[in-house]
C-alpha cells in the first residue's frame, strides 16, 4: 500500500499536475457542489495568455481552500496558440465557500474582465 501511494505521488510530481477528485470546467459554474475537507478540486479553463488575458482566482473565504498548483498547457506548439489553465485547490475546512475566477488583463485591472465565473461548494 505504501509503495502504491508513493508511486502515485511520484507520477503526479513528474506530470506537473496535482491529482484532483473533481475536475470542473466553465459548464460547472453556478452549481453548488458537495466536497469533503481534505479533497482537491481542479478548475480547467480555456486561456490564451498571448492576448494578455489570464485567469485570476479568489477563494471566499480565503480560509476555506488554497491553490496548490497552477499551470498552463498549450493546445499546440504554435506561438500564441490558446490552451488550458488549470488551478488545483485543496479544501481546508468544512463549510460553504466559493471560488471566483475572472479572465482579465492584470495590468488593466478588473474593468478589463471579459468573463467572470463563480464555483460554489459545500464542504463537509
When pLDDT is cut at 50, 70 and 90, the band that residue 19 belongs to is low
pLDDT of amino acid 50 = 92
pLDDT at residue number 83: 94
For residue range 32-78, list pLDDT tens digits in order.
Answer: 999 999 999 999 999 999 999 999 999 999 999 999 999 999 988 88
CATH: 2.60.40.2020, 3.20.20.140, 3.20.10.10, 2.60.120.260. Which one for 18-123?
2.60.40.2020
| Nearest Cα residue to 117 out of 21, 20, 27, 22 | 27
Between 32 and 16, the higher pLDDT residue: 32
How do the domains of the chain map onto residue ranges? Answer: 18-123
Q: pLDDT tens across 77-115, in order?
A: 888 899 999 999 999 999 999 999 999 999 999 999 999
Distance CA 81, CA 98 (A): 30
For residue 80, the model assigns a pLDDT of 87
pLDDT in the model for residue 20: 55
Amino acid at each position: 500500500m505504501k509503495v502504491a501511494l508513493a508511486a502515485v505521488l511520484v507520477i503526479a510530481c513528474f506530470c506537473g499536475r496535482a491529482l484532483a477528485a473533481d475536475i470542473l470546467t466553465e459548464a460547472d459554474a453556478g452549481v453548488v457542489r458537495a466536497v469533503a475537507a481534505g479533497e482537491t478540486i481542479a478548475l480547467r479553463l480555456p486561456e490564451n495568455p498571448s492576448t494578455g488575458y489570464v485567469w485570476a482566482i479568489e477563494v471566499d473565504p480565503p480560509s476555506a481552500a488554497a491553490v496548490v498548483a497552477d499551470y498552463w498547457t498549450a493546445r499546440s506548439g504554435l506561438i500564441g496558440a490558446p490552451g488550458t489553465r488549470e488551478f488545483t485547490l485543496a479544501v481546508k475546512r468544512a463549510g460553504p465557500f466559493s471560488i471566483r475566477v475572472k479572465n482579465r488583463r492584470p495590468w488593466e485591472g478588473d474593468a478589463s474582465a471579459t468573463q467572470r465565473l463563480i464555483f460554489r461548494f459545500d464542504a463537509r
